[in-house]
Amino acid sequence: MTTHAIADAGVLTARSVRHILRSPDTIITTAVTPIALMLLFVYVLGGAISTGGAGAYIDYMLPGILLITVASGVAYTAYRLFLDRQSGIFERFRSMPISRSSALWAHVVTSMLANLVSVAVVVGVALLIGFRSSASFGAWLAVFGVIALFTLALTWIAVVAGLAAKSVDGASAFSYPLIFLPFISSAFVPTDTMPGPVAWFAEHQPVTAIVDSLRSLLAGVAVGAEIWVALAWLLAILVLAAVGAALLVRR
Protein backbone atom coordinates (compact mmCIF):
# COMPACT_ATOMS: atom_id res chain seq x y z
CA MET A 1 0.00 0.00 0.00
CA THR A 2 1.20 3.53 -0.80
CA THR A 3 1.49 6.26 1.82
CA HIS A 4 -1.75 7.81 0.52
CA ALA A 5 -3.58 4.47 0.77
CA ILE A 6 -2.25 3.87 4.30
CA ALA A 7 -3.48 7.30 5.40
CA ASP A 8 -6.91 6.59 3.88
CA ALA A 9 -7.07 3.19 5.58
CA GLY A 10 -6.14 4.81 8.89
CA VAL A 11 -9.02 7.28 8.67
CA LEU A 12 -11.53 4.58 7.75
CA THR A 13 -10.17 2.25 10.45
CA ALA A 14 -10.82 4.96 13.04
CA ARG A 15 -14.40 5.12 11.73
CA SER A 16 -14.85 1.34 12.10
CA VAL A 17 -13.31 1.31 15.57
CA ARG A 18 -15.68 4.07 16.69
CA HIS A 19 -18.60 1.91 15.56
CA ILE A 20 -17.34 -0.95 17.72
CA LEU A 21 -16.75 1.29 20.74
CA ARG A 22 -20.33 2.51 20.45
CA SER A 23 -21.54 -1.10 20.61
CA PRO A 24 -18.98 -3.03 22.72
CA ASP A 25 -21.51 -5.86 22.98
CA THR A 26 -20.00 -7.27 19.76
CA ILE A 27 -16.69 -7.98 21.51
CA ILE A 28 -18.50 -9.23 24.61
CA THR A 29 -20.71 -11.53 22.53
CA THR A 30 -17.69 -12.83 20.66
CA ALA A 31 -16.00 -13.78 23.93
CA VAL A 32 -19.06 -15.15 25.73
CA THR A 33 -19.58 -18.25 23.58
CA PRO A 34 -15.94 -19.47 23.75
CA ILE A 35 -15.87 -18.79 27.51
CA ALA A 36 -19.09 -20.77 27.96
CA LEU A 37 -17.62 -23.65 25.93
CA MET A 38 -14.43 -23.51 27.98
CA LEU A 39 -16.35 -23.69 31.26
CA LEU A 40 -18.51 -26.51 29.90
CA PHE A 41 -15.55 -28.64 28.82
CA VAL A 42 -13.45 -27.95 31.92
CA TYR A 43 -16.11 -28.37 34.61
CA VAL A 44 -18.62 -30.75 33.00
CA LEU A 45 -16.95 -32.84 30.29
CA GLY A 46 -13.26 -32.51 31.03
CA GLY A 47 -13.21 -35.06 33.83
CA ALA A 48 -14.32 -37.78 31.41
CA ILE A 49 -11.80 -36.90 28.68
CA SER A 50 -8.34 -38.45 28.65
CA THR A 51 -5.56 -36.41 27.07
CA GLY A 52 -2.89 -39.07 27.46
CA GLY A 53 -1.15 -37.43 30.40
CA ALA A 54 -0.87 -34.03 28.72
CA GLY A 55 -1.49 -32.17 31.99
CA ALA A 56 -4.50 -30.15 33.11
CA TYR A 57 -7.37 -30.24 30.64
CA ILE A 58 -7.65 -26.45 30.52
CA ASP A 59 -4.03 -26.33 29.30
CA TYR A 60 -4.82 -28.92 26.64
CA MET A 61 -7.97 -27.37 25.21
CA LEU A 62 -7.26 -23.62 25.45
CA PRO A 63 -5.64 -23.37 21.96
CA GLY A 64 -8.82 -24.72 20.37
CA ILE A 65 -10.96 -22.27 22.34
CA LEU A 66 -8.80 -19.39 21.11
CA LEU A 67 -9.35 -20.44 17.49
CA ILE A 68 -13.10 -20.66 18.08
CA THR A 69 -12.98 -17.15 19.56
CA VAL A 70 -11.43 -15.80 16.36
CA ALA A 71 -13.78 -17.78 14.11
CA SER A 72 -16.76 -16.33 16.00
CA GLY A 73 -15.39 -12.80 15.82
CA VAL A 74 -14.71 -12.60 12.11
CA ALA A 75 -18.42 -13.14 11.41
CA TYR A 76 -18.94 -9.54 12.54
CA THR A 77 -16.43 -8.38 9.94
CA ALA A 78 -18.48 -9.93 7.14
CA TYR A 79 -21.64 -8.48 8.70
CA ARG A 80 -20.25 -4.93 8.94
CA LEU A 81 -18.84 -5.11 5.41
CA PHE A 82 -22.18 -6.28 4.05
CA LEU A 83 -23.96 -3.39 5.78
CA ASP A 84 -21.51 -0.92 4.24
CA ARG A 85 -22.27 -2.38 0.82
CA GLN A 86 -26.02 -2.25 1.36
CA SER A 87 -25.96 1.33 2.68
CA GLY A 88 -24.21 2.53 -0.47
CA ILE A 89 -21.19 3.86 1.37
CA PHE A 90 -18.82 1.94 -0.94
CA GLU A 91 -20.25 3.81 -3.93
CA ARG A 92 -19.78 7.05 -2.01
CA PHE A 93 -16.14 6.15 -1.32
CA ARG A 94 -15.57 5.51 -5.03
CA SER A 95 -16.66 9.05 -5.79
CA MET A 96 -14.07 10.39 -3.37
CA PRO A 97 -10.28 10.71 -3.92
CA ILE A 98 -9.38 7.75 -1.69
CA SER A 99 -7.77 4.41 -2.35
CA ARG A 100 -10.26 1.71 -3.34
CA SER A 101 -8.55 -0.87 -1.11
CA SER A 102 -8.55 1.36 1.98
CA ALA A 103 -12.17 0.50 2.85
CA LEU A 104 -11.33 -3.21 2.91
CA TRP A 105 -8.14 -2.70 4.91
CA ALA A 106 -10.10 -0.64 7.45
CA HIS A 107 -12.38 -3.63 8.09
CA VAL A 108 -9.39 -5.99 8.22
CA VAL A 109 -7.47 -3.91 10.77
CA THR A 110 -10.59 -3.39 12.88
CA SER A 111 -11.20 -7.13 12.86
CA MET A 112 -7.63 -7.79 13.97
CA LEU A 113 -7.92 -5.37 16.88
CA ALA A 114 -11.35 -6.54 18.03
CA ASN A 115 -10.53 -10.24 17.82
CA LEU A 116 -7.22 -9.91 19.63
CA VAL A 117 -9.04 -8.11 22.45
CA SER A 118 -11.54 -10.99 22.61
CA VAL A 119 -8.67 -13.50 22.69
CA ALA A 120 -7.07 -11.57 25.56
CA VAL A 121 -10.36 -11.70 27.49
CA VAL A 122 -10.62 -15.48 26.98
CA VAL A 123 -7.01 -16.00 28.10
CA GLY A 124 -7.73 -13.90 31.20
CA VAL A 125 -10.69 -16.10 32.12
CA ALA A 126 -8.59 -19.22 31.44
CA LEU A 127 -5.98 -17.96 33.92
CA LEU A 128 -8.68 -17.46 36.53
CA ILE A 129 -9.90 -21.06 36.22
CA GLY A 130 -6.46 -22.65 36.36
CA PHE A 131 -4.61 -22.27 33.06
CA ARG A 132 -0.86 -22.15 33.57
CA SER A 133 1.94 -21.87 31.03
CA SER A 134 5.68 -22.39 31.26
CA ALA A 135 6.26 -20.68 27.90
CA SER A 136 9.14 -18.24 27.58
CA PHE A 137 8.69 -14.67 26.41
CA GLY A 138 9.79 -15.72 22.92
CA ALA A 139 7.25 -18.56 22.90
CA TRP A 140 4.48 -16.16 23.89
CA LEU A 141 5.49 -13.90 21.01
CA ALA A 142 5.28 -16.91 18.69
CA VAL A 143 1.81 -17.73 20.06
CA PHE A 144 0.74 -14.14 19.41
CA GLY A 145 2.17 -14.33 15.89
CA VAL A 146 0.34 -17.56 15.02
CA ILE A 147 -2.98 -16.28 16.40
CA ALA A 148 -2.54 -12.95 14.59
CA LEU A 149 -1.83 -14.75 11.31
CA PHE A 150 -4.83 -17.03 11.88
CA THR A 151 -7.00 -13.96 12.55
CA LEU A 152 -5.71 -12.23 9.43
CA ALA A 153 -6.38 -15.28 7.23
CA LEU A 154 -9.92 -15.76 8.57
CA THR A 155 -10.61 -12.03 8.30
CA TRP A 156 -9.89 -12.08 4.57
CA ILE A 157 -12.26 -15.05 4.24
CA ALA A 158 -14.82 -12.85 6.05
CA VAL A 159 -14.13 -10.06 3.55
CA VAL A 160 -14.89 -12.45 0.69
CA ALA A 161 -18.13 -13.50 2.43
CA GLY A 162 -19.13 -9.90 3.07
CA LEU A 163 -18.53 -8.91 -0.55
CA ALA A 164 -20.27 -11.94 -2.04
CA ALA A 165 -23.24 -12.27 0.34
CA LYS A 166 -26.76 -11.52 -0.83
CA SER A 167 -28.27 -11.18 2.66
CA VAL A 168 -27.27 -10.39 6.24
CA ASP A 169 -27.67 -14.03 7.24
CA GLY A 170 -25.50 -15.15 4.36
CA ALA A 171 -22.78 -12.68 5.33
CA SER A 172 -22.23 -14.31 8.72
CA ALA A 173 -23.22 -17.92 7.95
CA PHE A 174 -19.77 -18.68 6.50
CA SER A 175 -18.34 -18.69 10.02
CA TYR A 176 -20.34 -21.73 11.18
CA PRO A 177 -18.08 -24.33 9.50
CA LEU A 178 -15.03 -22.45 10.82
CA ILE A 179 -16.39 -22.62 14.37
CA PHE A 180 -17.25 -26.31 13.97
CA LEU A 181 -13.89 -27.34 12.47
CA PRO A 182 -11.93 -27.33 15.78
CA PHE A 183 -14.29 -29.99 17.14
CA ILE A 184 -13.01 -32.42 14.46
CA SER A 185 -9.37 -31.89 15.33
CA SER A 186 -6.97 -32.42 18.20
CA ALA A 187 -8.37 -29.33 19.97
CA PHE A 188 -10.45 -31.19 22.57
CA VAL A 189 -9.44 -34.85 22.37
CA PRO A 190 -6.43 -36.69 20.89
CA THR A 191 -7.12 -37.70 17.29
CA ASP A 192 -6.13 -41.34 17.98
CA THR A 193 -9.34 -41.75 20.02
CA MET A 194 -11.48 -41.07 16.92
CA PRO A 195 -12.78 -43.62 14.39
CA GLY A 196 -10.48 -44.24 11.39
CA PRO A 197 -11.93 -41.91 8.70
CA VAL A 198 -12.64 -39.14 11.22
CA ALA A 199 -9.14 -39.45 12.69
CA TRP A 200 -7.60 -39.21 9.21
CA PHE A 201 -9.54 -36.03 8.47
CA ALA A 202 -8.70 -34.55 11.88
CA GLU A 203 -5.00 -35.23 11.45
CA HIS A 204 -4.81 -33.67 7.97
CA GLN A 205 -6.94 -30.56 8.36
CA PRO A 206 -5.28 -27.21 9.23
CA VAL A 207 -6.75 -26.70 12.70
CA THR A 208 -4.91 -29.71 14.16
CA ALA A 209 -1.50 -28.44 13.06
CA ILE A 210 -2.29 -24.96 14.41
CA VAL A 211 -3.64 -26.26 17.73
CA ASP A 212 -0.70 -28.65 18.24
CA SER A 213 1.76 -25.82 17.54
CA LEU A 214 0.07 -23.47 20.00
CA ARG A 215 -0.16 -26.21 22.64
CA SER A 216 3.56 -26.97 22.39
CA LEU A 217 4.49 -23.29 22.55
CA LEU A 218 2.29 -22.67 25.60
CA ALA A 219 3.67 -25.75 27.33
CA GLY A 220 7.23 -24.57 26.75
CA VAL A 221 8.26 -27.71 24.87
CA ALA A 222 9.96 -28.07 21.51
CA VAL A 223 7.68 -27.47 18.55
CA GLY A 224 7.93 -30.10 15.85
CA ALA A 225 7.26 -29.95 12.13
CA GLU A 226 3.61 -29.10 12.75
CA ILE A 227 4.51 -25.41 13.08
CA TRP A 228 5.65 -25.37 9.43
CA VAL A 229 2.52 -27.22 8.36
CA ALA A 230 0.42 -24.69 10.28
CA LEU A 231 2.20 -21.70 8.73
CA ALA A 232 1.90 -23.21 5.24
CA TRP A 233 -1.86 -23.67 5.70
CA LEU A 234 -2.34 -20.15 7.07
CA LEU A 235 -0.30 -18.46 4.34
CA ALA A 236 -2.09 -20.44 1.61
CA ILE A 237 -5.52 -19.52 3.04
CA LEU A 238 -4.48 -15.88 3.41
CA VAL A 239 -3.23 -15.58 -0.17
CA LEU A 240 -6.26 -17.30 -1.69
CA ALA A 241 -8.73 -15.24 0.35
CA ALA A 242 -6.96 -11.94 -0.36
CA VAL A 243 -6.86 -12.69 -4.09
CA GLY A 244 -10.54 -13.65 -4.02
CA ALA A 245 -11.41 -10.39 -2.24
CA ALA A 246 -9.41 -8.36 -4.76
CA LEU A 247 -11.25 -10.02 -7.66
CA LEU A 248 -14.65 -9.36 -6.06
CA VAL A 249 -13.81 -5.69 -5.49
CA ARG A 250 -12.64 -5.31 -9.07
CA ARG A 251 -15.83 -6.95 -10.34
pLDDT at 117 over 90: no
- Highest average pLDDT, of 22-31, 159-168, 228-237, comes from 228-237
| Averaged pLDDT for residues 116-137 | 90
- The count of structural domains within the chain is 1
**Mean pLDDT for the chain overall:** 82
Residue 241 lies in a domain: yes
Which range is least confidently modeled, 43-52, 89-98, 150-159?
89-98
Residues 106, 9 contacting (CB under 8 angstroms) = yes
| Averaged pLDDT for residues 193-206 | 90
Residue 17 lies in a domain: no
Instruction: Between 67 and 25, name the one with better pLDDT.
Output: 67
| Averaged pLDDT for residues 20-27 | 64
| Averaged pLDDT for residues 2-31 | 63
d(CA 64, CA 211): 6
Per-residue model confidence (pLDDT) at position 56: 82
Question: Would you say the pTM of this structure is higher than 0.75?
Answer: yes
Which range is least confidently modeled, 89-98, 106-115, 126-135, 229-238?
89-98
pLDDT at 53 over 70: no
Residue 195 lies in a domain: yes
Per-residue model confidence (pLDDT) at position 163: 81
Neighbour tally for 21: CB within 10 Å: 9
d(CA 89, CA 18): 16
Residue 101 lies in a domain: yes
Residue 14 lies in a domain: no
pLDDT at 98 over 70: no
pLDDT at 127 over 90: yes
Per-residue model confidence (pLDDT) at position 96: 60
Residues in CB range of 63: below 8 A, 6 or more apart: 187, 210, 211, 214, 215, 218
Residue-range definition of the domain harbouring residue 43:
26-250
Residue 13 lies in a domain: no
